[in-house]
Structure formats: C-alpha cells, structure tokens
Amino acid sequence: MALRLDSPLEFVKGVGPQRARLLSDQLGMDTVGAMLLYFPFRYIDKTRYTPLAEATQDGQFYQCRGKLTGLEHHGFGRSRRLTAMLDDGTGRIELIWFQHYQWFLDKAEVGKEYRIFGRLKLARTGKSMAHPEIALMMAEPQPNSLRWEPVYPSGEALAKKGYDSRGIKNLVFQIFQNLDVRMVDETLPTYILEKYRLMNRQEALLNIHFPKDEQSLARARQRLKFEELFALQLRMVRNMYLRKKKDSGIPMASPGELYQNFYENHLPFALTGAQERVLRELQLDLRSGYQMNRLLQGDVGSGKTIVALLTMVWAISQGHQACIMAPTEVLAQQHYESIASLIRTIDLRCALLTSSVKAADRMLLLGMLARGEIHILIGTHAVLEDKVVFSQLGLVVIDEQHRFGVEQRAKLWGKAHPLPPHVLVMTATPIPRTLAMSLYGDLDVSVIDELPPNRRAIVTKHFTEAYRITLYEFMKEQIAEGRQVYIVFPLIEESAKMDIENLEMGYERLLEYFPRPQYQIAVVHGRLKPKDKANEMTRFARGRANIMVATTVIEVGVNVPNATIMVIENAERFGLSQLHQLRGRVGRGADQSYCVLMTANRPAGDAAERIRTLCATNDGFAIAEADLRLRGPGDLDGTRQSGLLELKVANLSEDQPMLYAARRLAEAILRRDPGLDHPLNALLRKLFEGDPDQPIGKIA
C-alpha cells in the first residue's frame, strides 16, 4: 500500500495498532511524516573495523569484529549480569550486560562472528565494553547497502517490541520504500537554496537517514540545520516586528521630578558605565510608544536591581505602579528589604505579598494597592491571584523569568488596563549569545557586563579530600575574624547508586571540628518546612550562625555580605553554570571571598574541565559559553518553557556562524517584506499558517 505523509504509522508494514501506540507514547511519533523527522544521532562506518590489539584509548568508541567464544551468568537477583568474550585473533575483549540482555541471550551463538560497537574500558584485568551494540556478521540483505549505518535513539520499552536502533532503521527504510519522496514539500524558497547552496528537502531527508557517502551526509545535515535555525529566527524576528507594530505601550515620555531627585540625590553609589548604558536603553523603550519587552542579563552582583528600581521610579513619577515578581519567598523578601531601604528617602511605599502574609494584613495591603497607595508591589506567585488589583500598573519586573510559565505571565499582563504594562525580565544566569538569540530572540536584550568597582574577584580553589583539615583550619580563621561560611552538598540522604558525600554525614563531621556552643551551624534543605527554612536562613543572615550547611536551595537565596567562603562538596557533580551561581552567594561585601571546590580525588574528563574553567575565570558569560559547549542546550533548559531548545540537528555551540547567518537573513527578509506577501516568500508564509506558535518541522 502506498503511504502518504499523513498516514498513521500503524499502516506501515509490520507496525500495526499496538506498536503504533508504543511509538506514539515513547517517541511522540504518530504519522509517516513525523517518523521521517526522527533523525539518527550518529552513524557507524560499516567498512571500518579496529583490530582489538589496536583499540587502546580508554573511553573511546570502537567498532570491532570477532568470534563469540563464551557466555556466562554471574551473580544473583539485581546483581546478576551476563558476560561474553569476543576474540578477533589479535586480542580479546569482555562484553558485559548488567540488565536487559535477554534479547541477546535468546539469539546468541557461540562460535559465530559478531560486530560490536561501544565505549572501551581499560583495566588491569583487560579490555571490556559495557552494553555494546552487537550484531551477527552475516550475508543477510541489509535495508540499505550503504557504508554509513544510522544509529537511532531508542529505549527498553521500544527494544522489547523490536524497535531498538536497528528496528527503527528498518521502519524508516520501509517508509522510504513505500513513499513517493516528491510528496515531501519544500519549505525554503529557491533564492535561499541558491544563495546558501543548500540541498533540496527531499534529498536532505533521504540522506540524513541513509547517506550515499560522507559528503551527502554533510550536505543533508547542513540543509536541515539551516532550515531549523532559520525557521526559529524567522519566527522570533517576526514576533518582535508584530509586537512593536500592534502593541502600543503606556506613554512615559519624560522622567518627572521624582525620578530626577532620586537619581541625582539618593543613589547609594555611582552607577557603572554598563548600568548607565542599560538604563538609557530602558528609557528609550519607555519613550518609544511601544510596549517594552526587554531581557536584562547581568552576572551575580552586577547591579541589576538598582537599574530595575530606577526604571520603576521613572514609571511611578509618571503616575503608575510597578511590580516585581520573584520565584521564591526568600528572593522576594530580599528584594523587599533592599528596595524598601532605598525608596524610604523619597517617601515611596512598597509592600511584600507572599503566601505567608496573614489574612488581615493581606486585606489591608490589597485595599491600599487598589487605591494606588502602594507604589511598588514585590511578591511571588501570590501576585497573580484575581484578588490582587492595581490602580494603575505600568511596569512589571520578572526576576528569573524561566520560573514562570506563559499563562502566569499573561495573568500579570491582564492586571493593567487599557494598555499592557511595560515588561522587564531579569536573569542572573549569564546566557551565551547564541542561546539568548534562540531563547529570547523576540525580546530586546540588555547586558550589564561590568561589576561595581568595590567588588573583589572571588578566589576559587580546588581541594581534594587530602586537604580537608587545611580547609577547616582556614574556615576557623575566617570565622575568628567575624566571617561566615556556606557549605553546599548535592544530596540530602544516602544514595546506593552514587558515592556522594551527603548533607547529614557532612553535618555530623562538621560538629567534630566546629563544636557547639563555640560554633553555630544552620541547616537548610528542600525537605524543611518553609517556616523552618526561613528561620534557619534568617539565623545565618543575621549572624547568629557561623556556618550554613545547605543543598542548592541557597542558589538564589539571602544576600549575606558577611559570608566570605563558599565550599561546594562533590563539585564534580554540579554543572558549570550551577557552580558559578553558587559561587555568587559570596563576594557580596568588601572583604576578600573564596570558593572551594571539594572532590574526593582528582576528577577527569568534563568534570575536570568544569573545575579548571571555574578556577580560571569569574566571567559568567565565558563560563556560560563553556557550559553550552560541554553540556549542550538541552541540559541548559529551564531558561524558558517554550521548548525552543528541542533542536533536532542543529547545535547552538557548534553552529554559531549558521545561526548568525539565519538571523541576518530573517531580519533582511522581514525588513523588505514584513507580511511575507511577496510571491517569492509564499513558502515562508506557509510556516505561519494555522497556529502561529506551531513548531516548524512539518514535512508537508
């Protein structure tokens, strides 16, 4: 039966309703067209085999071939495993399966020749591969006689039903055999294909799955990467143009006397050049007549809050109210305390609204807010409640935007009438330029890339377990001088799978070196009740505790200028950006601060590079670039809830030049043809038909 792109997968030969449901549940693939967009993640050169004697690089992937010389079971219950020996005449290697090996055991034939592919592990006992890909070397006809064999992501449930990588390959091959590829619609106009010398979409899809040769694979990947990045940037730029065209903003043309007085007479310190530059960018937005939608990036301690406050005072001087929404009560409380102290001198009133505010106080607060007697409301998700009504909301500041979903933000926008409020999004997580273009390409972006002059660079050191006593002695010296210490652990309970120092054990050990009552230790983790957590944080913030032992709950936490040491236990278990965020909890005062990265032994691989990078620089943007390179954008998600990081083939770290080219092209096209009305752009206009937020990637 001939297949169409919209044909359900159950109509593909050998699939049927049950397997189709499995593919839908596990992969989200329901149709033939969708399955063609499930791309291989790597390829095996089937003509190249490494003799076992020459496989010598620990941790490297190798493809080898040899005879299976034995199969053995070891252990019982959960510790049961299967081992096999493979011999190619130049050497031997042990193959190990700890689980899910019954499929191989049912088919394994000792004495037959097999092809294996996997990561080599070298040990004193010899060479081994855990869970290698393994296939019988035989003369059976292959789905394709090409050199490059695609390898697809799979999983246990899929493999049990015959859809391991090989099964998925056979399924895709079956689709191509029964589908006229001319049904695959082109998505890019001819002038773009010619300008960038791109393969057409039909060829690209065929060659991404079953490449004729290395050059065809490279061209297919280039075509599909560009399509993916260009579609993303076209949508971003178009959304920005449409917003600026249709979204009138609350007019705030002049600063007003209140703003001038605050700026000239009441700032506690002089602004840096970067703060002044960003402030001018924000003021241009407020004067433009369009709604401001701007992302403000700045490293920990760069002074984003004072810039946001000046912008809020500008809005208040025009007769409007402002609101700050923070993801946690701790952060909201911190904003409230710092802002309340700054605006007290100009007779403005701010209020704090969280779920902890008592009913009577809440009623009083909401009444004042509705009457316009509160100028700045600072709060958590509680601000979104229907009972929270503003008299004249003009500016919304969102701290750490990724903690809030689209619907939550829309609720806040709806609290301003008749025009939407100006919006300033702040993040202390430095975002690489490529990631910012993909995550926030529809927002204007400002960056505070300069720290205040009185801030000393944090000294970062890496210690192994052998130097723990040295660390404790240094902590005692700092505490004797009146300083405080953070100690962060990755877990709060024992884990049988990971050899990680946990918080409880660490706390007990600390008591041996820092006994009570001479030393006081606060303990904070995610399982504490909010009230207990707040009490412990307050105890530390007010100097009644010398040491805070915590999980990463303090990543965005209280501002304690007196804390000068950050100790991160099992630092190799943390991501680079997370390490940088934790380090930013110290260095808030004028005293020299230190960050100590503790590991049991000398780490290797990516962990070693993360630690080297953190010790070498305090530049958050350099660290974010390194993190993107090491982990990829998928692991950096959490910065936005739109799914824009789910790129199928493009890599934001590796494909930066292509991303910039795609952005420039999108801007050039929309400058000349904002509505995509020209006949040459008919294919591009089709990308926006139907749901404007529908991800681009449909086959037809």
Q: Cβ neighbours of residue 189 under 8 Å, at least 6 residues apart?
A: 680, 681, 682, 683, 684
Q: From residue 95, give the alpha-carbon distance in Å to each of 52, 101, 341, 355.
A: 13, 11, 66, 56
CA distance 294 to 425: 6
For the chain, what is the mean pLDDT?
Answer: 85
**405-424: average pLDDT:** 79
- For residue 351, CA distances in Å to 261, 327, 392 come to 22, 16, 16
Q: Which residue has the higher pLDDT, 693 or 317?
A: 317
Q: Looking at residues 419-428, what average pLDDT do you find? A: 88
Which one, of 62, 44, 52, lies nearest residue 142 by Cα?
44
Among residues 607, 334, 616, which one has the least CA distance to residue 490? 607
Helix (H, G, I), strand (E, B) or coil at 486: strand
Q: Give me the domains of the chain, ranges plus CATH numbers.
A: 48-146 (2.40.50.140), 256-288+302-427 (3.40.50.300), 459-617 (3.40.50.300)
pLDDT of residue 700 exceeding 50: no
Look at 96-105, 260-269, 565-574 and tell me which has the smallest mean pLDDT.
96-105
Give the angle 79-83-87 at the CA atoms, nearest 5°: 165
β-sheet bridge partners, residue 461: 596
Q: Which has more pLDDT, 544 or 147?
A: 544
How confident is residue 498, by pLDDT bands cut at 50, 70 and 90?
very low
For 565, the token pair is: 């040491």
Strand order in the sheet with 422-427: 350-353, 376-379, 321-325, 393-399, 422-427, 293-298, 444-448
pLDDT for 621: 77
Residue with tokens 């409007």: 320
Residue 446 · residue 294 · CB < 8 Å:
yes
pLDDT at 696 over 60: no
**For residue 620, which of 572, 567, 580 has the smallest C-alpha distance?**
580
Adjacent-strand bridge partners of 385: none
Would you place residue 405 in the very low, low, confident or very high pLDDT band (cuts 50, 70, 90)?
A: low
Q: How many CB atoms lie within 10 A of CB 222?
A: 18
Burial of 590 from C-beta contacts in 10 A (0-12 / 13-18 / 19+): exposed
What 8-state DSSP symbol labels residue 654? T
Q: Which residues contact 180 (CB under 8 A, 6 or more apart)?
A: 2
Which of 360, 361, 389, 363 minimizes the C-alpha distance to 377?
Answer: 389
pLDDT given for residue 343 in this prediction: 92
pLDDT digits (tens, 9 = 90+) for 50-73: 999 999 988 888 889 999 998 888
H-helix or E-strand containing 191? helix 190-195
Angle at 238 between CA 235 and CA 239, to 5 degrees: 85
pLDDT digits (tens, 9 = 90+) for 19-47: 999 999 999 899 999 999 999 988 888 77
Nearest in space to 70 (alpha carbons), one of 97, 99, 95, 102: 95
What was the pLDDT predicted at 135?
Answer: 81
- Which amino acid appears at position 610 of this protein? R
Query: Average pLDDT in the 161-185 region?
Result: 87
* Mean pLDDT confidence for 538-557: 81
Q: Determine the pLDDT at residue 6.
A: 87
Cα dist. 149→27, 136, 173, 275, 284 in Å? 21, 15, 12, 54, 55
Per residue in 609-624, pLDDT (tens digit) is: 999 999 999 888 788 7
DSSP state of 334: H
**What pTM value is reported for the model?**
0.67
Most confident by average pLDDT, 132-141, 175-184, 218-227, 505-514? 218-227
Ordered strands of the 563-568 beta sheet: 459-464, 594-599, 563-568, 484-488, 547-550, 521-524
Average pLDDT in the 227-238 region? 90
Q: How many CB atoms lie within 10 A of CB 210?
A: 23
Burial annotation 129-157 (CB, 10 A radius, 16+ → b, else e): beebbbeeeeeeeebbebbbbbbbebeee
Q: Where is average pLDDT lowest: 223-227, 338-342, 378-382, 497-501?
A: 497-501
**What dihedral do alpha carbons 464, 465, 467, 472 form, nearest 10°?**
120
Q: What is the pLDDT of residue 351?
A: 96
Q: For residue 564, which of 586, 539, 542, 590 has the smallest C-alpha distance?
A: 586
- Check pLDDT > 80 for residue 501: no
CA separation for the pair 389, 320 (Å, rounded): 13
